[in-house]
Amino acid sequence: MARIDIRKLQKSYNATTRTLHGIDLTFESGEFVVILGPSGCGKSTLLRMIAGLEDITAGEIAIDGTVVNTLEPRERGCAMVFQNYALYPHMSVADNIGYALKVAGVPKEERQRRIRETAAIVGLADYLDRKPAALSGGQRQRVAMGRAIIREPRVFLFDEPLSNLDAKLRVTMRAEIRKLHKRLSATSVFVTHDQVEAMTLADRLVVMNAGHVEQVGKPGEIYDRPATRFVASFIGSPPMNLLPGELDSEDALRLKDGYRIDLPVGARVGFGARRIEIGIRPEHAILTRRGAPGSADAVVDFIEELGASRVVYAELGGTMFAVTVSEAMEVEPGNAIGLILPPERLHAFDAETGRRLEMQRERAPQPA
């Protein structure tokens, strides 16, 4: 296991193109950290810099207290699993797994023992004589993981390793990776653009956007309290609804179409008068009949059938709004409906900066 400290890390390819903008992160020993973000946000670049495959423009990376900026990849104690399995097609599974030990000059008997042990860990004990072409996609990915495990690294680095697998196999491999991490107790850093992978795998989640870290925290914390408008819209499926609004008074919010949201009794908005965006998760909004008390008028646009639930998309004040409905409700495209936004489920974001704004509950007066 190893602790990773990343301090003021920057990556520039030329005078005008900067990929990372002063990243500060710490990954604790034995932690499973997932770096999540859209394509081009810099997450794979960050991973490759930890591995030593990308030069560092500024800042430093330390593994167990040793700055590794100038160390070769083989000297860092890291093993990397790529999106592309990168297996040698003419070699057997056993030879692919044990290749690094062969290059390092490990004696044949010791090498074969470690190959057998590693193959058992990744479930390939019965496939050691096969060539990659005779394996499924999931089995090839296990070979790639076995090749990393056999080196007994302090740090595992995963660069979108499940992207080439079908949906069902990805679910299976997520579970296997998580069990493997628990068994090996190594520090793992996993990069993905898939929020389901991120939420299910991570001990701690790092959300990146345009070369910056937007938020770091446990998956549940980030889902429940997104720090920025970007995180709110990126995490969740469907993502959080965001509606432009204004502060009406100290106890109410008003949406663009005039719909008023009264805050809970005793609450206050602790951020003064400014333009804001109001957010609510689709599963927290309530679909009702048009004109119901406390509801906003909307018109159904289309419906996604998901089996156990449905997502109804409706136009609310000129904005597309999603609401998740679990029970069977008789709504069709074109129907007029009502939407209730419970005040206790609302999130608020500064319309200019995108940062989260807190709705704070005032303390009750203390008795004299």
pLDDT at 124: 92
Query: What's the pTM?
Result: 0.88
254 and 105 within one domain: no
Q: Is residue 150 part of a domain?
A: yes
What's the average model confidence in pLDDT over 66-70? 95
Choosing from 170, 199, 231, the residue where a domain stops is 231
Helix (H) or strand (E) holding 338: strand 336-340
Q: Is residue 273 part of a domain?
A: yes
197 and 272 within one domain: no
- Of the CA atoms within 13 Å of residue 254, those in its CB half-sphere come to 10
Round to whole Å and give the CA distance between 212 and 194. Answer: 18
Choosing from 231, 260, 280, the residue where a domain stops is 231
What's the average model confidence in pLDDT over 176-205? 91
What's the average model confidence in pLDDT over 267-271? 58
What does the pLDDT look like over 116-163, one tens digit per residue? 999 998 889 999 999 999 998 889 988 998 998 898 889 999 999 888
pLDDT at 263: 66
The larger pLDDT score, comparing residue 233 to residue 294, is at 233
pLDDT at 116: 93
pLDDT at 253: 74
Q: Is residue 357 part of a domain?
A: yes
pLDDT at 309: 84
Round to whole Å and give the CA distance between 324 and 281. Answer: 9
Choosing from 198, 231, 264, the residue where a domain stops is 231
267 pLDDT above the threshold of 60: no
Token representation of residue 138? 């999931």
Name the most confidently modeled range: 100-104, 160-164, 283-287.
283-287
Would you call 314 helix, strand, or coil by DSSP? strand
256 and 208 within one domain: no
pLDDT at 76: 92
Beta carbons within 8 Å of 275's beta carbon, 6+ residues apart: 244, 246, 350, 351, 352
265 pLDDT above the threshold of 80: no
Token representation of residue 324? 């998740």
Ramachandran angles phi, psi of 45, nearest 5°? -60, -45
The larger pLDDT score, comparing residue 264 to residue 224, is at 224
Assess contact for 27 and 63: CB atoms under 8 A. no
Q: Is residue 366 part of a domain?
A: no
Q: Is residue 160 part of a domain?
A: yes
Round to whole Å and give the CA distance between 19 and 232. Answer: 23
What's the average model confidence in pLDDT over 263-288? 76
Strand partners, 157: 80, 189
Strand partners, 9: 23
Q: Is residue 368 part of a domain?
A: no
Token representation of residue 179? 């069990």
184 and 45 within one domain: yes
Q: Is residue 162 part of a domain?
A: yes
Q: Phi-psi category of 122—alpha, beta or left, where left has phi over 0 and alpha has psi -120 to 50?
A: alpha
What's the average model confidence in pLDDT over 200-218? 96
Q: What range does the domain containing 346 cover? A: 238-361
- pLDDT category at 164 given cuts 50, 70, 90 is confident
219 and 150 within one domain: yes
- Of the CA atoms within 13 Å of residue 175, those in its CB half-sphere come to 4
pLDDT at 368: 47
249 and 197 within one domain: no
206 pLDDT above the threshold of 60: yes
pLDDT at 271: 57
Would you call 65 helix, strand, or coil by DSSP? coil
What does the pLDDT look like over 223-259, one tens digit per residue? 999 999 999 999 998 999 999 887 766 667 777 777 7
177 and 34 within one domain: yes
pLDDT at 235: 94
What's the average model confidence in pLDDT over 313-331? 86
155 and 9 within one domain: yes
Q: Residue 342's Cα: distance from chain center in Å?
A: 27
- pLDDT category at 364 given cuts 50, 70, 90 is very low
Q: Considering its fold, how many domains does the chain have in total?
A: 2
The domain spanning residue 134 has which CATH number?
3.40.50.300
Q: Is residue 79 part of a domain?
A: yes
The domain spanning residue 273 has which CATH number?
2.40.50.140
What's the average model confidence in pLDDT over 91-102? 93
Round to whole Å and give the CA distance between 112 and 321. Answer: 59
326 and 221 within one domain: no
199 and 164 within one domain: yes
